[in-house]
Structures are given as C-alpha cells and as structure tokens.
C-alpha cells in the first residue's frame, strides 16, 4: 500500500497542452498550430512544467500524426523553450492507424507515450493490439526513446509488467496513471491506491524500480494531482485532460493549470523539477 511521502524528491510536472480530443469550440485557448504550441509550452515551462506531452493538429484543428507537423512543432518548442523534455504521443486520436501513430518516433524524441491495451474511450474504442504495442516498444528502443506507460486501468499495468519481464521494456519503468476516462478507471482515491499497491507489490517482488505520475481527467485533475504530491508521485495537467480551472470556469491557459499545481507543490514542500532535474530522475 502506498505510504505518505516524507522525502524531498522533486515533482515532475508534465503539461499535455493540446491532446487529440479537446476542441477550440469548448476551450478557446487550446493551442493548435506549432507556433501556438511553442508559446503554450514556454508559458507552461515558466510556470513549472518540465515535460511537454505532445499531440499535433492540422491548421483546421484535426488531430494529426504527420511527421512534418511534429517536426515543425518540436523545432519551434525547442527554439522557444530550450531544454524542455518533449514526449510525443503514439496514442494519437482514436481510430488512427498504427503506422501513423509510430511515425513521430523517427524524430527520436526523448520520450513517447506507450498505450498498453484496447479499451472503450468515451463513445469510441481505443485499439491497441498486443502486436502493435510490442512493435511500438521495439521502435522506441531502436530510436533510443524512453517510453511512458499510459495506464487507464489495472490490467494495463499488469500488461506493462509482462512486457518488462519479456524484455520488451527496460526498467525503471515510467508509469502515468490516466484516470477518469469513461471506459477506464475513474479518479477516485481508492483506484489510485489500488494501482500504487499493485505497482509497489510488483517492484517489491523483484520487478525493479519505477517512477509514477497521475493525470486526472476532468474534475479529477486537481484532487489527483494533490494526492500525487502527498504520495511522492509526479503530475500531469493540461487541456488534453481537463479544460476547466474549476467547475463552470474554463482555464485561461495551460500555464494556469501548471501554476496551480506548482504552487501546491511548494506549499507541500515538494520542489518543482526543472527539465535538467527531471532528466536525471527519469534517467533520460
Ligand atoms: N487520444 C487518446 C485516444 C497518448 O497520448 O498516448 C490517446 C492518448 C494517449 O492521448
Ligand atoms: Zn495524449
């Protein structure tokens, strides 16, 4: 069972600035073009983010996995916010082909997301065939990209353990609990505790060390981020997961969401990791 954190490990704040599902209709400040994404990334970094989880869009807002679009966004982000860790999405939008989802790995980003199972995702199905998961993990290895394991429910975590045992993944694993997607586990505290218990039991039985963070979807974002601060985990915030600052009030920017959790971290005596510190912690 997870214990309350009493050490002084810095907290890594990831900002998922755009995602594949959020829209300008619902969140007018959603960054879409590479220039908007670079501005949003810089503001998020200034507020305390050290990792940018990156999806790209075409100019009309449609989700995209086009290599050139990723390249443009990454170049602009690097120019504006040098040093920030860029984690590209290999999840893409629901329904995207696995070939397209793998494409941005050719740019050899420092990190990439790796999804570990098929699930209902709202009203859609997010398809992740075991063969495709292994192929994506192999491609990440080939390009020296560090995977972040996206875990929406407990079975995904156990699938990650199997891949680690089979040598498809290397430790220490980076686990991101994405809680609150309809089709996955909700963001209730008992779910986070259960997942941490499973992770710690695996680690304690010779599974090796790990890093974990939590991305709460919608109304779960703030309570789960606060719990992660108390429990020694890392945090993901941003418009991909949540467009509100509080009930009925839209956030004005991704940076506003980062600022709040950075402020909470300092109040709770968790230092906010710079990109260099995050790089060391995550063994990048
Ligand atoms: N858009 C979701 C269906 C990831 O980035 O790896 C999947 C997703 C996960 O966003
Ligand atoms: Zn994503």
Contact 86, 61 (CB under 8 A): no
* 120-124 contact pairs (CB < 8 A, 24+): 120/182, 120/183, 121/94, 121/181, 121/182, 121/183, 121/184, 122/21, 122/181, 122/182, 122/183, 124/94, 124/95
CA-19 nearest atom, ligand 1 = 10
Q: What is the pLDDT of residues 167-193, one digit of tens each?
A: 999 999 999 999 999 999 999 999 999
pLDDT of 1 strictly over 60: no
Q: What is the pLDDT of residues 78-91, one digit of tens each?
A: 999 999 999 999 99
153 close to ligand 1 (CB < 6 Angstrom):
no
Q: What is the pLDDT of residues 223-250, one digit of tens each?
A: 999 999 999 999 999 999 999 999 999 9
Q: What angle do CA 70, 73, 79 make, to 5 degrees?
A: 135
Neighbours of 6 (CB within 10 A): 8
pLDDT of 2 strictly over 90: no
Q: How far is the CA of 33 from the centre of ligand 1 (A)?
A: 19
74 close to ligand 1 (CB < 6 Angstrom):
no
Per-residue pLDDT at 8 = 63
Q: What is the C-alpha to C-alpha distance for residues 177 and 156, in angstroms, rounded to an integer?
A: 10
20 close to ligand 1 (CB < 6 Angstrom):
yes
Query: Which residue has the CA at smallest separation from atom 9 of ligand 1?
Result: 91
List all residues 6 or more positions away from 77 whose beta carbon is below 8 Å from its beta carbon. 34, 37, 38, 41, 42, 52, 54, 84, 86
pTM of the full structure: 0.97
* Tally of structural domains, the chain: 1
Reported as a pLDDT band with limits 50, 70 and 90, residue 3 is: low
Nearest to 156 by CA among 188, 123, 194: 194
27 close to ligand 1 (CB < 6 Angstrom):
no
CA-240 nearest atom, ligand 1 = 10
CA-150 nearest atom, ligand 1 = 6
Place of tokens 């709202």: 122
DSSP 126-139: E---HHHHHHHHHH
CA-90 nearest atom, ligand 1 = 6
Query: Which residue has the CA at smallest separation from atom 4 of ligand 1?
Result: 91
Give the CATH number for residue 71. Answer: 3.20.20.70
Q: What angle do CA 58, 51, 80 make, to 5 degrees?
A: 65
Residue numbers of the domain that contains 186: 3-281
């Amino acid at each position: 069972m997870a214990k309350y954190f009493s050490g002084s490990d810095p907290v890594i704040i990831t900002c998922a600035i755009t995602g594949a599902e959020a829209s300008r209709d619902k969140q007018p400040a959603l960054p879409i073009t590479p220039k908007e994404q670079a501005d949003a990334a810089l503001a998020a970094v200034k507020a305390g983010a050290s990792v940018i989880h990156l999806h790209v869009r075409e100019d009309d807002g449609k989700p995209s996995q086009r290599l050139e679009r990723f390249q443009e966004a990454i170049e602009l982000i690097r120019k504006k916010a040098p040093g920030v860790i860029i984690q590209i999405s290999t999840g893409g939008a629901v329904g995207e082909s696995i070939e397209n989802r793998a494409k941005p790995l050719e740019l050899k980003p420092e990190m990439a997301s790796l999804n570990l199972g098929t699930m209902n995702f709202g009203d859609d199905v997010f398809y992740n065939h075991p063969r495709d998961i292994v192929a994506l993990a192999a491609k990440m290895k080939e390009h020296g990209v560090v995977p972040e394991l996206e875990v929406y429910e407990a079975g995904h975590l156990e699938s990650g353990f199997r891949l680690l045992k089979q040598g498809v993944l290397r430790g220490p694993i980076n686990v991101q609990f994405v809680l609150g997607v309809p089709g996955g586990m909700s963001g209730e505290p008992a779910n986070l505790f259960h997942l941490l218990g499973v992770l710690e039991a695996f680690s304690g039985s010779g599974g090796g060390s790990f890093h974990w963070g939590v991305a709460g979807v919608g109304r779960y974002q703030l309570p789960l981020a606060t719990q992660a601060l108390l429990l020694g985990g890392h945090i993901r915030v941003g418009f991909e997961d949540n467009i509100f600052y509080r009930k009925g009030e839209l956030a004005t920017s991704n940076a506003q969401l980062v600022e709040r959790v950075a402020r909470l971290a300092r109040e709770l005596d968790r230092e906010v990791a710079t990109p260099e510190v995050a790089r060391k912690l995550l063994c990048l």
